[in-house]
């Protein structure tokens, strides 16, 4: 696909430009595919769980053109608005899944080289995959689709909205920041160690990562030197050779990508923090991070979040010290904590996974809810767009049957950008914008 990339432009990473182009395409496609660019809905008589400022009993949310236009107790809407009586049910922000590999048709890992930052998950995105629907029916409205953890430096993620039934580009989250997946620990060393390649140890892992970053620094210097020559009027200056891999890593060093690191063990988190400091880039979050509770102070000081499981453990050696109190212990130390799925199954019931934090460690209702909404949105870098019921945010909302933070919470209706994409009461798949065989 990148053959269409304008080769004449030497300066920007192919990936960066390509992403920008995609977003433009997405916006255009969305206008064609989406139910309507304009909508006006008043959801009333709900227990509004805002995720930022508590619950509003008998609350209402007024949606205009896909955004939350008002939130409060006694809202009146213009006569033109569609009124939905929630019948006293709970209303939450749409769930945000900050670690997912759904809808990639198995193309999660380009496990042929431990450094593949030029991989673009958009190229594997199977927008017709029913897994998107399964998450939607579980209340998930936004997901970060990441490269896998086979490589120390994996590929670049996409952020989707679960608008199942629409076209591919209409599902992309417009303007979401770019994320890149890094990894550490057992997976890279197992994948390459099994082939007798570097890395097969944690020493090898970090050496591979360092080596790649050093190359990227050299690459940037070459380009800087060339730029300086051009600036000084040197007409004979020849540009260095383009390298997609190093372009992407240069973007990491320039801080243009959110770095999401698959990392289980506490010691490796500290090493990753030190390496980021050494090379001058910032880490967004450790994913899985099952030992975060051991180094929570250091994570908080470095401003690194975690996207973790509630209670999954013991599936591998580096998950042996996992404890279900991890999320709350880290949160109490000031770490941004999200509960994520990393599983087609958990993506369907993240509300239950979040509820477990209320038992293990005593998270409040709002704290638990934030772990699958606002904090998850922060991990992805879209916290100003989604993740809470606040004026100006995208109208991604879920009306629940039962109390959402329990075994009994089941999405009744799911709204994305103000439109209903899932309605439990509908026959068949329960999706207004999807027909089988379309």
Partner 1 sequence: MRRINSSQVYRLVACFVLLCAMAAAQQKPIVLRGGKLLTVSHGAIENGVLVIENGKIAAVGAASSVKIPKDARLIDVTGMTVYPGLIDSETQLGLTEISAEEMTNDFIEPSEEIMPHMHVYDAFHAESELIPVTRYNGITNAVVAPGSRDTLPGQDSFVQLVGKSSEEMLLIRDIAMPLNFSGEQRRNQGPFDRRKFPSTRMGLAAQLRQAFLDAQDYAQKWADYEKKREDYEKGKSEPSAKSEDKEKDKGKEDKDKEAKKQPPSPPKHDLKLEALLPYLQGKKMIVLAADESNDLQVAVGLAKESNLKFVLNHISHSQSVLDYVASLKVPVIVGPIYEDPKPYERYDAVYSLPAELYKRGVKIAFASYDSHNSRNLPYQAGFASAFGLPYDEALRAITLNAAEIWGVADKLGSLDVGKTANVVVANGDPLDMKTDVKQVFIEGKEIPMTTRQTRLRDQYSGQ
The residue assigned the tokens 């673009």 is: 120
Q: Which stretch binds partner 1 (CB under 8 A): 21-29, 147-155, 249-257, 427-435?
A: 427-435
Reduced DSSP (H G I as helix, E B as strand, rest coil) percent helix, strand, coil of the chain, to 5: 35, 25, 45
- Closest approach of Cβ 37 to partner 1, in Å? 28
Q: How many residues bind partner 1 (CB under 8 A)?
A: 44
Nearer residue to partner 1 within complex by CB, 130 or 256 = 130
Residue 92 phi/psi, 5-degree rounding, is -125, 165
**Window 117-156: contact mask with partner 1 (x via CB under 8 A):** -------------xx-xx--xx------------------
What contacts 255, CB < 8 A, 6 or more positions away?
281, 282
> Which tokens sit at 122?
């958009």
What contacts 207, CB < 8 A, 6 or more positions away?
198, 199
Residue 140 phi/psi, 5-degree rounding, is -85, 130
Q: Which stretch binds partner 1 (CB under 8 A): 11-19, 64-72, 244-252, 344-352?
A: 344-352
**Contacting partner 1 (CB under 8 A), which of 21, 65, 278, 408?**
408
Nearer residue to partner 1 within complex by CB, 224 or 345 = 345
**Contacting partner 1 (CB under 8 A), which of 324, 381, 423, 432?**
324
DSSP secondary structure letter of residue 98: E
Q: Which stretch binds partner 1 (CB under 8 A): 87-95, 205-213, 276-284, 316-324?
A: 316-324
Burial tier of 241 (Cβ tally within 10 Å: 0-12, 13-18, 19+): exposed
Nearer residue to partner 1 within complex by CB, 147 or 349 = 349
**Contacting partner 1 (CB under 8 A), which of 262, 287, 294, 393?**
294
- Closest approach of Cβ 339 to partner 1, in Å? 12
174, 417 Cβ separation under 8 angstroms: no
Nearer residue to partner 1 within complex by CB, 155 or 411 = 411
Strands of 140-219 (E only): list them: 140-145, 153-156, 158-161, 179-182
* Of 33, 86, 36, nearest in space to 61 by CA: 86
Q: How far apart are CA 275 and CA 286, in angstroms?
A: 14
* Of 182, 216, 384, nearest in space to 285 by CA: 182
Q: Which stretch binds partner 1 (CB under 8 A): 63-71, 77-85, 271-279, 404-412?
A: 404-412
**Alpha carbon of 106 to those of 60, 129, 160, 228, 289: distances in Å?**
41, 11, 17, 44, 24
Does 406 bind partner 1 (CB under 8 A)? Our answer is yes
> 338 forms bridges with which residues in the sheet?
307
**Contacting partner 1 (CB under 8 A), which of 345, 384, 391, 435?**
345
Does 312 bind partner 1 (CB under 8 A)? Our answer is yes
**Window 362-401: contact mask with partner 1 (x via CB under 8 A):** ---------------------------------------x
Does 409 bind partner 1 (CB under 8 A)? Our answer is yes
Q: Which stretch binds partner 1 (CB under 8 A): 36-44, 89-97, 278-286, 406-414?
A: 406-414
DSSP secondary structure letter of residue 108: T
**Contacting partner 1 (CB under 8 A), which of 314, 334, 391, 435?**
314
Strand-strand pairing, 305-308 and 283-288: parallel
Does 428 bind partner 1 (CB under 8 A)? Our answer is yes
Binding site for partner 1 (CB under 8 A): 130-131, 133-134, 137-138, 186, 293-294, 311-317, 319-325, 329, 344-345, 348-349, 352, 355-356, 358-359, 401-402, 405-410, 428-430
């Amino acid at each position: 696909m990148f053959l269409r990339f304008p080769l004449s432009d030497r300066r920007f990473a192919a990936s960066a430009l390509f992403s920008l182009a995609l977003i433009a395409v997405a916006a255009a496609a969305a206008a064609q595919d989406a139910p309507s660019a304009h909508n006006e809905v008043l959801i009333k008589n709900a227990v509004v769980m805002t995720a930022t400022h508590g619950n509003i009993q008998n609350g209402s949310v007024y949606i205009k053109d896909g955004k939350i236009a008002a939130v409060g107790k006694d809202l009146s809407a213009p006569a033109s608005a569609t009124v939905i009586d929630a019948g006293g049910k709970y209303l939450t922000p749409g769930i945000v899944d900050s670690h997912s590999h759904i809808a990639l048709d198995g193309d999660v890992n380009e496990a042929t080289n431990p450094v593949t930052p030029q991989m673009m998950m958009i190229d594997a995105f199977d927008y017709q995959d029913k897994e998107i629907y399964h998450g939607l029916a579980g209340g998930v409205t936004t997901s970060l689709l990441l490269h896998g953890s086979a490589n120390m430096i994996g590929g670049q993620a996409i952020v989707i909205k679960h608008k199942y039934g629409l076209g591919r580009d209409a599902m992309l989250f417009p303007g979401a920041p770019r994320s890149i997946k890094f990894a550490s620990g057992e997976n890279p060393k197992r994948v390459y160690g099994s082939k007798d390649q570097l890395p097969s140890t944690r020493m090898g892992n970090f050496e591979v990562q360092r080596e790649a970053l050093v190359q990227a620094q050299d690459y940037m210097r070459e380009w800087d030197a060339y730029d300086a020559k051009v600036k000084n009027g040197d007409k004979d200056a020849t540009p260095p050779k383009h390298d997609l891999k190093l372009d992407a890593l240069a973007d990491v060093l320039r801080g243009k990508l959110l770095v999401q690191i698959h990392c289980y063990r506490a010691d490796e988190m500290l090493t990753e923090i030190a390496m980021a400091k050494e090379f001058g880039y910032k880490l967004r979050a450790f994913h899985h991070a099952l030992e975060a509770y051991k180094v929570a102070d250091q994570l908080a000081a470095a401003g690194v979040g975690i996207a973790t499981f509630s209670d999954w453990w013991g599936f591998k050696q580096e998950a042996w010290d996992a404890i279900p109190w991890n999320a709350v212990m880290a949160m109490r130390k000031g770490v941004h904590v999200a509960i994520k799925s990393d599983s087609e199954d958990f993506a369907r019931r993240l509300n239950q996974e979040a509820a477990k934090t209320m038992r293990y460690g005593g998270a409040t209702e709002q704290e638990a809810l934030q772990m699958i909404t606002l904090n998850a949105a922060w991990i992805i870098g879209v916290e100003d767009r989604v993740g809470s019921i606040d004026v100006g945010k995208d109208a991604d909302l879920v009306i629940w049957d039962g109390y959402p933070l329990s075994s009994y919470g089941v999405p009744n209706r799911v709204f994305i950008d103000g439109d209903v994409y899932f309605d439990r009461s509908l026959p068949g798949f329960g999706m207004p914008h999807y027909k089988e065989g379309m």
